[in-house]
A and B are shown apart, each in its own frame.
Chain A
Amino acid sequence: MFLTLSMLAVQGGVEADQVAGSFEPFFPALVVLLPLLGFVLNGLLALSHAKRSAAAVRAGGELQLDGPGGRPSTHTLPTWIGPGVMLGAFAITVVNFVRMLGAHLEHPVVISYWHWISTSTFTVDAALQLDQLSMIMMMIITGVGFLIHVFSVGYMKDDTGYPRYFAYLNLFVFFMLVLVMGASYPLMFVGWEGVGLCSYLLIGYWFSDREKADAGKKAFIVNRIGDVGFLIAMFLLFATFGTLDFLDIFAGAEDALVYGGGAVTAIALFFLVGAAGKSAQIPLYIWLPDAMAGPTPVSALIHAATMVTAGVYLVARSSVIFALSPVGSAAVAGVGVLTALFAATIALTQNDIKKVLAYSTVSQLGYMFLGVGVGAYAAGVFHLMTRAFFKALLFLGSGAVIHSMHEALHHTHSHADAQDMRNMGGLKKYLPITWITMWIATLAIAGIWPFAGFFSKDEIIWQTAAFGGAANAPYPFLYTIYWILALAAAMLTAFYMTRLMVMTFHGSNRTGEEERKYLHKAPAVMWIPLAVLAVLSIFGGWINVPEAIRTSFLGLGGALPMSEWLHHWLEPLTAQAHHIQEVHLGELAHSAPVGGGEVAWAVASTLAALAVVIATVVLVGGREVETADKDAAPTGFGKVLYNKWYVDEAYDAVVVRPLGKASRFSWRVIDQGIIDGMVNAVGYLARGFGWFGSLFQTGSVNTYAFVLSLGVLFTLASFLF
């Protein structure tokens, strides 16, 4: 099958349905297939590695370290295969991207390879869709993915499961690309489930640790709940349209669905359930913080940059459906803004560096939901893109810190927590590049001008205000609340990120005398990806500067290039949704609910964020932090936040325990008692009948003959009388 796929890929997809403009796809299938090839090769290496390890253990010895760098030879090839296939995929994506830039593509290009499902009433093709949205996603996935693969080479170099790690990582990229390139909901669902699987595999990568394996299971199970929503939404779509291809559905949506009707609202809300599961939104966000059990580059790739944005992609892709459902959109925005604020409050008091980043991720995903929920699909995707840069950077930076800390603690056999910020402090001296790049990312996420996050986050907040103030906005008051909450969450973001930076890199060093000697800089293979991402975090926001800001002093009086470039780029895809919005809502507002224009609020928010950053540096930096073993447990409200609002405990009490009890009841009473009882009763009945029947089997021929005679007698009697 793989051969067939490769051949199809080489043909470059000859059955292009419609090639608009002069856009010629450049072997798009290869983008998908290269990571798959990487998975197959690395997977085979992983199997051979596992076999060798097992043989070594059986022989009672150690694995032979016959490769370069004092590592097993099975670790050599994945170093090149893993990032190599990603580089190839990225290069092909760039070629396609450049071609699409020059083509002014009006309609998505769908390349169908074969009929995947074919029944009399329902057909799904294995088809890839190339358009502006999938292209942006492909750029992010392959580009950021490549950098993270490179970083992993350094981060995972001494791990025993090295080939397995790259196999999983390649497989993840494959499924993620299927998710964003699939031309129909079922194909998207394949990618959707596939990335869930890889997420599970990678969270539980160190599966011998019970806690980490459990975290993987938690992620998998919580995601399943969301998937049910996705599936039901697909069923509803099929019931309405009879097809699940994107183009057919969106083309017929306005005819088949009534604006604000029950069907479209149900579809939108079920899609929201699915998206909330994958993108870690309230109430299904609980798996993401636990997912930090995986290796840090995995957290960067899957649980920050790509997979968790699948929900946002889903909503952006289904923009027509959400535009037709004001209730669905309001729910998306509400879930998003609540999650943004809620997760931000939890992040305030966490001490684990990755936990802070995890809750920050949840919070930022909330922003994206808010964006796509208020019809600003371009803004949502914009934030998705910029955040992929600075969030990956933050995670990789924390990875570099943890890597360094871990080795230092390992040298001294200390059992202190390598991820606890209370054990860090003053690391800027030891990890200078990491320090600088992470500050850039922090400023970006805090929304400080002119970093990437400023433009994307500000855009979302502004669009919320503009949407709520539209002439016929459905729930203007609700959107005003959203707007205020979003602003509040932005301030919290600035605080907790600065707190993280200060606790990690500033102040006095708390690692201990002996450990300090072993703290080391990130190697080149790790700091170069950091530097690339830092550059992107600075300039990435400039591709979508709102026109009003570009022409003001914030845009240096028009000196910033590319006014609303992303917005225009996505225009062919969002035009339909925007048209629906315009018809039903009227013109969007040009001022915030409490007055003030876009530029004024942009200035205000960046100044406020800057003030928070400075205040935090002063306040947190001026306070002496105790190491983890000496630090007093937080009290009062801080304790509630530290314990994450006791949400896990609440879920445990409300869902997990009752479910466990119900399962036990089903097992003991219903299954073992009633069902097994019935089955056993049938068995006993048969046995009883058998015993009764066996009484007639005397084995005596005479008796048999006698009974036979009786039979003859009765037959005769029936003839005669």
Chain B
Amino acid sequence: MITEGLILSAILFVIGTFGVLIRRNAIIMFLCIELQLNAVNVAFVALSRSVGIDGQIFVFFVMTVAAAEAAVGLAIIISIFRHYETVNVDNFNLLKW
């Protein structure tokens, strides 16, 4: 079941990546990033069948970080929205130059 888990993880990860690449709504991009994190979790759980319970512990930590990240990230999106009245990342091009 390890192989299947890893392949599932890979597929979920590339779907998340694809989402980040083609979507411009900051919240959806954020969801896709969560998807990628989740894919990693699947990989950890699958590999815990090979290395033991430590893999699951890492999943626990990843989830915690994801929760923290979601809180801060969403707060940032809210502040940006307040300023620009939009969450479309094409409008945030201050990174240019």
Contact = CB atoms under 8 A, between A and B. Distances in A.
- Tell me if chains A and B make direct contact, with any CB pair below 8 A: yes
Contacts of B22: 702
Interface stretch (A545-553, A566-574, A599-607, A693-701): A693-701
A697 B92 contact: no
A700 B93 contact: yes
A701 B89 contact: yes
A650 interface: no
A95 B89 CA distance: 95
A694 B96 CA distance: 8
A702 B91 CA distance: 12
A170 B47 CA distance: 94
Contacts of B4: none
Interface in B78-96: 89-90, 92-96
Contact of B94 (A694, A699, A706): A699
A663 interface: no
B1 interface: no
Contacts of A697: 95-97
Contacts of A705: 20-21
Of A694, A704, A709, chain B has the most CB atoms within 10 Å of the CB of: A709
B93 A698 contact: yes
Interface string A694-721: 1001111110111001000000000000
Nearest to B17: A709
Given A705-B21, A706-B21, A709-B17, A699 B29 contact: no
Contacts of B29: 701
Nearest to B90: A700
Chain A contact surface mostly: helix
B93 A702 contact: no
Contacts of B94: 699
A702 B24 contact: yes
Interface string B1-36: 000000000000000010011101000010000000
B84 to A, nearest CB: 14
A697 B94 CA distance: 10
B89 A700 contact: yes
A701 B96 contact: no
B21 A702 contact: yes
B78 to A, nearest CB: 17
A712 to B, nearest CB: 8
A332 to B, nearest CB: 72
Contact of A698 (B17, B24, B96): B96
Contacts of A704: 95
A704 B89 CA distance: 12
Contacts of B93: 698-700
A698 B96 CA distance: 5
A701 B20 CA distance: 9
Contacts of B90: 700
A428 B20 CA distance: 111
B27 to A, nearest CB: 13
B96 A702 contact: no
A586 B92 CA distance: 101
Contacts of A701: 29, 89, 92, 95
A697 B20 CA distance: 18
Contacts of A702: 20-22, 24, 89
A700 B96 CA distance: 8
A639 B54 CA distance: 111
Given A700-B90, A701-B92, A694 B97 contact: yes
A698 B92 CA distance: 11
A709 B21 contact: yes
Contacts of B95: 697, 699, 701, 704
A107 to B, nearest CB: 79
Nearest to A703: B21
A704 B93 CA distance: 11
Nearest to A704: B95
Contacts of A698: 93, 96
Interface string A445-481: 0000000000000000000000000000000000000
A700 B20 CA distance: 12
B69 to A, nearest CB: 16
A588 B61 CA distance: 108
CB-CB nearest 3 A-B residue pairs: A699-B93, A699-B96, A701-B89
10 contacts: A694-B97, A697-B95, A697-B96, A698-B93, A698-B96, A699-B93, A699-B94, A700-B93, A702-B89, A709-B21
